[in-house]
């Protein structure tokens, strides 16, 4: 069974989101990031099964628009949609790792899942291993548990 064809308007809105993201990165404009977020949302409405707009939206939401809870929710929705795709686990793990030791156990769990699913040649594999090790060491130094809530 082949994957469904991605509609033209989904591709168009996704491309617009990529362009707004590019210019947001160049100018550090929150408005450009908001436009990118909206474009990825529109792309997803035309192709609800297509995970890439949700991934890009979640990254923008968490890193550039400071909406940690919304980004975690988007990543969770994406993981439900495509549980065998490694990238959402990596990106959510990175997001968790930037939110202090209280989120470290969740970051470790996501990095572990990423490492389980990602091919050995994935460009972020070594970084995910290093980040996981560093977070485990920090938790251990403080006597904190690696259990997620």
Q: Which of 130, 73, 135 is nearest to 106 (CA)?
A: 135
Cβ pair 41, 21 in contact under 8 A = no
Q: Does the global pTM surpass 0.85? A: yes
- For residue 139 the two structure tokens come to 């938790």
pLDDT at res. 2: 64
Question: What's phi and psi for 83, nearest 5 deg?
Answer: -65, -20
- Identify the pLDDT of residue 4: 84
Q: How confident is the prediction along the chain (149 residues), in pLDDT tens digits per residue?
A: 567 899 999 999 999 999 999 999 999 999 999 999 999 999 999 999 999 999 999 999 999 999 999 999 999 999 999 999 999 999 999 999 998 888 899 999 999 999 999 999 999 999 999 999 999 999 888 887 666 55
Q: Is 63 helix (H, G, I), strand (E, B) or coil?
A: helix
Rounded alpha-carbon distances, angstroms, from residue 123 to 8, 87, 95, 127, 129: 30, 11, 18, 8, 12
Give me the pLDDT at residue 17, please: 98
**What is residue 149's predicted lDDT score, i.e. its pLDDT?**
57
Structure tokens that stand for 95 in this block: 């997001």
């Amino acid at each position: 069974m082949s994957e469904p064809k991605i509609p033209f308007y989904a591709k168009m809105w996704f491309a617009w989101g990529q362009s707004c993201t590019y210019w947001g990165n160049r100018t550090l404009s929150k408005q450009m990031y908001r436009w990118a977020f909206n474009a990825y949302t529109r792309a997803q409405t035309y192709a609800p099964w297509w995970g890439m707009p949700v991934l890009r939206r979640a990254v923008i939401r968490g890193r550039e628009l400071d909406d940690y809870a919304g980004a975690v929710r988007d990543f969770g929705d994406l993981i439900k949609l495509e549980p065998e795709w490694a990238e959402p686990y990596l990106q959510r793990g990175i997001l968790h790792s930037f939110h202090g030791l209280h989120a470290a156990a969740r970051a470790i769990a996501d990095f572990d899942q990423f490492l389980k699913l990602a091919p050995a040649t994935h460009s972020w594999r070594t970084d995910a291993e290093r980040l996981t090790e560093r977070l485990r060491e920090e938790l251990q130094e403080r006597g904190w548990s690696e259990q997620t809530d």
